[in-house]
Structure formats: C-alpha cells, structure tokens
Amino acid sequence: MGTGRFRDADARMTGVILRADRGGHACNCPAACDKLYILSSMKNIRNFSIIAHIDHGKSTLADRLLEYTGALSEREMTDQVLDSMDLERERGITIKAHAVRLTYAADDGVLYVLNLIDTPGHVDFSYEVSRSLASCEGALLVVDASQGVEAQTLANAYHALEHHLEIIPVINKIDLPAADPQKTVTQIEETIGIDCSEAILASAKEGIGTKEILEAIVKRIPPPRGDDGEPLKALIFDSWFDNYQGVVVLVRVFEGRVRAGMRIRLTATGSVFEVSQVGVFLPKITQVPELSAGEVGYIVAGIKRVTDTKIGDTITDADRPTDEPCPGYKETKPLVFCGLYPTQAHQYENLRDALNKLRLNDSSFVYEPETSLALGFGFRCGFLGLLHMEIVKERLEREFDLALISTAPTVVYRVTHTNGSVSFIDNPALLPDRYETIEEPFVSATIFLPAEFIGPILDLCQEKRGVQTTFTYIGKDRVRIDYELPLNEILWDFYDRLKSLSKGYASMDYDFLGYRESRLVRLHILLNGETVDALSSIVHADRAYQKGRDLTEKLRDIIPRQMFEVVIQAAIGNKIIARESVRAIRKDVLAKCYGGDITRKRKLLEKQKEGKKKMKQFGRVELPQEAFLAVLKLK
C-alpha cells in the first residue's frame, strides 16, 4: 500500500474516514473507492467479545451489530456471517475465532472503531478463548431470557473477569413468550456476581436493543491503552492457512506498530518473517497501511505453516524486540488421542491427504501413521479434547467423503520400563506387558455449581477418582469446589454428567497438573478368541472387573447379530474376566419374488451389501463403528 501518500497523521487526529481502494491507493475520493476503514485515535477504539452459551443468540447478535453499523449490506448478509464453516453452523459452535472491524457513529457525534473478536465456546478451546479475551477490554455477556444462566456462560464470564474485562450483560430473546428478563438479571447477579442494573434487554432476532448495545460498548468499555512508539508487541489469538496468502495471523497490537516491509519475530519459535501485508476484516479482508497499538487486525508474512504461529505467542519487531512478551502464553499439547482408520483400506492415501489439508489450518491437532492388527493402516491423532476430535472426524467424513473408524480416545501415559527408560504411550495397545511404573496425567478441575447439587456432584468426582482440594461457598447458594482428577476420567462422560446432575448449572474448567503414578492395567477385548487391539483400554485396577463386565455387555448390545455366533471376552493379561455372546441370526429369508420382480430383490441385496461397507470386518465378525467407542459409554 502506498503509505507515502497517505495522510495518516491528519486522519489520526481528526478521526476522519478515509476511503482506500484495493490497489493500495488511498484518497478522499468517494467515486473511485469502495472500501471503508478508519484510522482513529486510540480513545475511539473499543475491543470486545461476545460471551454466550450455545444457542443463546451470539451469532445472531453479531449479525445485527454488523448490519446496524453497515459493515454488511442486507444483500450481503447470509445469516450468521461469523460462523463461516457449515459444521460450525450446524453444531451451533464457533470453532475459529474471527475479528471484525465495525465503524459506529455514536450519539456523542464521534465515529468509533469497534473490533468484535469472536470466541469459540467449548472447554476444549478454553485456552483459545482466554487468548481472545486477553485481546479485549470488554465483553457482552449474552444470556437467553427464556433459559437463564447456563454452565458455559459462567465459565467464560469467569474467564472475562480474570482478564479484568468490562462486562455488559445483555438479556437476549426478550421477545419469546417464555422470557423472564427480571429473573435472568437476578440470576446473573447471584451466580456471576456482577452488577446488572444497566443490563440491556434485547432481541437479536427482532433487532431490539442493538443500538443500546452499541452505545454501551462505546460508553462503558474502556479504550485500549498502549504506546505506538514502543517496540512492537502483538498477541496472536488466531491463525489459519490461506491457499493464496499462506498463514494469516490475527493479532491484537498492544504496543508499537506493524506495517508491510517490517521484519517480525515470533517469540516462541524465534523465527523471523517479513510482513507483506496487514489489514482488517470489514468483514471482507481489507488491507490497511499499518496496525498500531490498540488495534486488532491480521498480518500476512509469508509464513508457511500454522504450527509456527502459536496462539498466545507474541509478535515483535525483529530489529527492536520488546522486553516483555504478552503474558499467559502456553504451548498447547494434544491431550486426547485416538486412532483414525479408513473402513476401506484403499482410502488410506485419501485419509492421509485429508489430514494434511486439515492440519494446514489447525495447528492444535497432530497425527502420525500407525498400524493396527484389527484395523490395518491408519493414523494416531491427537486433539485438544473430545469435541475437537469429533469436529475433526466429522470434517474428514464430510469434506473429504471418507468413511472412518475411530478408536476410543485415550490420554497419554508415561511408562517407566524395567530398564529405566521412559516412554509416552498414546495407544493402549502399545502398553508393554511388563514395566516398572505407569503414570497418568492429572488435572486440577474447578467446578462452580449451585449448592443444591453438591451431593451428586461430589459423588461423581469421587467415582472419577477425584481428590478434593478446596470447597468454598460463594454467596449463600453457590459453591466452588476444586478437585484433582485423572484426565482419563473426565475426558469421557464427565462433562455431560456434570451438566445433567446440575441441570446444566455447573461449570467446569481444568488445567493440566502433571503426571502421577497410578495402579493401571490394560483391559483387552477378544472376539471369538482373538484380541482386537483397537478395543484395548487402560483402566484403573480397582475398576477393571466392573469395566470388563460393562464393556462386554455394551459390545453385546452394539454388535449386530450375524451369521456366526460372536463370543466377546474381556481379559486382563491372560485372565478372562467377563464373557458375553451375540447369538447368530437364525432368520433372514430372502422373500418371494412377486410376479417376476427380480430387480427389487437385487436392489435389496445391493443395499444391504452397501450398508456393510460401514462395518469393519474382523475375521468372521463385523464390527460397527460404535463398537470402537463402546468404552466411552461405560459409567
């Protein structure tokens, strides 16, 4: 962009809107230019996120804000612009964070730049959420007036409070017959403990309250602070791979400036790149001459891999680095692993290509080839959590048209071998028969819940081998409990059960604590006498018998009756601890061919044969996908 001709100093002082065309030319001529951006003094900038439980209307509200501020014409509006992937839309989850720059002419006669930073909304992505929130000064806390406060709202609201964000409560969906705004306000005050006297009543669907929200953002959220004369210090809160640009990094600039031609350093890896472009999303990608302290935007710098741009890392000037990188950076490590196998061996190459492509855009998931006796060639993949795993799997199946078998997810165990060497095991089948010690990852979990649900939730934590460290009343009817729990135990159904036991009001967050020695054994499953490695799991010795019985029963229900009897056994070492069987089918008659209608029967057979493609053949036994996840369904 031809910054030399750009009168940025004037603009900065007056907050004047400039028009810039895509060719890098910037001027005041409205006729030639179609894109708007603003350069403004820092006091006219507001950086904010929207915090909401799934389905409480976050995306709809974002759309209204975009619409109201003219960022999108109605013609350009497709519903819920920020959730760009179909999958996100279907699941109602925002997976990738995005940042959109809005311009708003407030009632005080000043034009403001509002940067809306979207956040993912699931515990798997809590680190990403925390980095997004760290990029803001304020947040809209959206609560559905007909549903009230729910667990997810709490967890994210606490995140926001930790980052000292100004929180603006928005009571949404007031148009619904079941809406009870007053009750919702009281709930927010009681559960989150923030003042709701100035809560905004809104209906994003009906467009009620949009202006009030924009005014509140401008008046109540503080402007960013920082010095654009200092060395560059910018926080990475998202990045993705673009086929044309390479990696696009979303940043919040805290100090200094960044512009094309500058050499930047990524603090975590130390690698240096030359910036080729900076810009903002309006929401369409739009180049700007520079991003300076307080601003939010993107940087393109010829970076080839998203693995280089770690979320939470600090970008600084390679020639004049900052002394103090942004706090809170953590290396994200996959916590959950599973095997992904094509149901049809010939799709292996396609699966590899698909993983490659997904990895370009998702640095938090890892994979490497592995082989299973039962499943053949596939990949061991690591994820941030279960939801992350499900999303990746679904994308592979949907976007790449692959039929996949996934094995039960597992955590990573640390095994000390008899010779003293240490290795990490992310596949239960690879646990050696003899070893010195085995350690499993523990987390410290913080749970907030209404006091009335304490009983069942303490029982749940107990059942999951938890050790209580803190128990505190917050107010008269809310409780905070802290537990040290094996990650393995909370991976599976813990979150769901926590929610159902507390009618959705408990919220949980956890941090990795470290490895601890445990009495663990490998439970393996035999089908007709043959071990199926992909069904192995590592369980606590005290629970092994119960799990073995539960698992064989579960498999008995999942495995469809087939032509031959299927004997299911659970074993620890050589000792069989449980046995079930699935009787062979006795009847499956190919019915009468009426009046020479042969085609109908042929098609029926063809359809049945097609259906079997989804099953994995293991010797004489055909296993449906659910069988490999049966271990998850155990209590």
Partner 1 sequence: MTTIPRQMQRSGAQRRARESTAARITGSSRAVSSLYIHVPFCVKKCNYCDFFSVPFDESTAFAYTDALCRELKMKAHLAGSIETVYIGGGTPSLLPHACLSRLFRTLQRSYTLSETAEVTIETNPGTISGATIDLLLSRGVNRISVGVQSFDDAELRLLGRIHTADDATRTLSFLRKSGFNTISLDLMFGIPGQTLDSWRTSLARCLECAPTHLSCYELTLEEGTPFWNSVQKPPEDAIVDMYVHACDFCEHYGYGQYEISNFALSGHRCVHNLNYWRRGEYIGAGAGAHSFVGDTRSRNVRDIRSYIRHLAEGVAPEVDSAMLSPVESAREFLFLGLRTTDGIRIRDADALGLDLLRAAEELREGGFLEMRGTVLRMTRRGFAVSTAVLVHLLQNLGL
Quick one: 29 or 593, whose CB is closer to partner 1?
Answer: 593
**How many other CB atoms sit within 10 Å of the CB of residue 88?**
18
Told to check if 529 binds partner 1 by CB under 8 A, we report: no
Q: How far apart are the first and last CA of the chain?
A: 60
Quick one: 31 or 591, whose CB is closer to partner 1?
Answer: 591
Told to check if 557 binds partner 1 by CB under 8 A, we report: no
Q: Smallest gap, in angstroms, from Cβ of residue 604 to partner 1? A: 8
Told to check if 601 binds partner 1 by CB under 8 A, we report: yes
Q: Smallest gap, in angstroms, from Cβ of residue 557 to partner 1? A: 17
Binding flags for partner 1, 558-577, as an x/- string (CB under 8 A): ----xxx-------------
Window contacting partner 1 (CB under 8 A); options: 333-341, 349-357, 511-519, 604-612: 604-612
Told to check if 516 binds partner 1 by CB under 8 A, we report: no
Quick one: 434 or 586, whose CB is closer to partner 1?
Answer: 586
Quick one: 476 or 609, whose CB is closer to partner 1?
Answer: 609
**Cα–chain center distance at 137:** 22
Confirm if 222 and 307 have CB atoms less than 8 A apart: no
| Partner residues linked to 540 by β-bridges | 520
Q: Smallest gap, in angstroms, from Cβ of residue 617 to partner 1? A: 9
Handedness of CA 34, 37, 39, 43 (dihedral sign): positive
Q: Smallest gap, in angstroms, from Cβ of residue 630 to partner 1? A: 23
Quick one: 186 or 562, whose CB is closer to partner 1?
Answer: 562
Q: Smallest gap, in angstroms, from Cβ of residue 314 to partner 1? A: 57
Quick one: 29 or 605, whose CB is closer to partner 1?
Answer: 605
Residues 6+ apart with CB under 8 A from 404: 340, 341, 342, 343, 351, 393, 396, 397, 625
- Tokens standing for 151? 């667990």
Quick one: 32 or 593, whose CB is closer to partner 1?
Answer: 593
Q: Smallest gap, in angstroms, from Cβ of residue 562 to partner 1? A: 7
Q: Which of 261, 270, 588, 635 binds partner 1 (CB under 8 A)?
A: 588
Quick one: 398 or 612, whose CB is closer to partner 1?
Answer: 612
Window contacting partner 1 (CB under 8 A); options: 268-276, 419-427, 494-502, 591-599: 591-599
Q: Smallest gap, in angstroms, from Cβ of residue 564 to partner 1? A: 6
Q: Smallest gap, in angstroms, from Cβ of residue 585 to partner 1? A: 6
Told to check if 597 binds partner 1 by CB under 8 A, we report: yes
Q: Contacts with partner 1: how many residues (CB under 8 A)? A: 27
Quick one: 178 or 590, whose CB is closer to partner 1?
Answer: 590
Please give the angle made by the CA atoms of 266, 253 and 243, to the nearest 5 degrees: 60
Quick one: 148 or 342, whose CB is closer to partner 1?
Answer: 342
Q: Which of 587, 624, 628, 634 binds partner 1 (CB under 8 A)?
A: 587
**Cα–chain center distance at 50:** 16
Tell me how far apart the 2 most distant CA atoms of the chain are, in Å: 89
Told to check if 596 binds partner 1 by CB under 8 A, we report: yes
Told to check if 356 binds partner 1 by CB under 8 A, we report: no
Q: Which of 434, 575, 609, 635 binds partner 1 (CB under 8 A)?
A: 609
Q: Strand, coil or helix: what is 390?
A: helix
Confirm if 378 and 455 have CB atoms less than 8 A apart: no
Q: Strand, coil or helix: what is 356?
A: helix
| Integer Cα distance of 192 and 450 in angstroms | 11
Told to check if 345 binds partner 1 by CB under 8 A, we report: no
Residue 298 host element (H or E):
strand 296-300
Q: Alpha-carbon dihedral of residues 394, 396, 400, 405, nearest 10 degrees?
A: -90
Residues 6+ apart with CB under 8 A from 524: 531, 532, 533, 535, 536, 570, 571, 572
Confirm if 272 and 263 have CB atoms less than 8 A apart: yes
Told to check if 602 binds partner 1 by CB under 8 A, we report: yes
**How many other CB atoms sit within 10 Å of the CB of residue 621?**
22
Please give the angle made by the CA atoms of 506, 511 and 515, to the nearest 5 degrees: 125
DSSP labels, 67-102: HHTTSS-TTT--S-TT--SHHHHHHT---S--EEEE
Q: Which of 227, 598, 623, 635 binds partner 1 (CB under 8 A)?
A: 598
φ, ψ dihedrals at 154, nearest 5°: -60, -50
Q: Smallest gap, in angstroms, from Cβ of residue 431 to partner 1? A: 33
**Site residues (vs partner 1, CB under 8 A):** 562-564, 585-599, 601-602, 604-606, 608-609, 612, 620
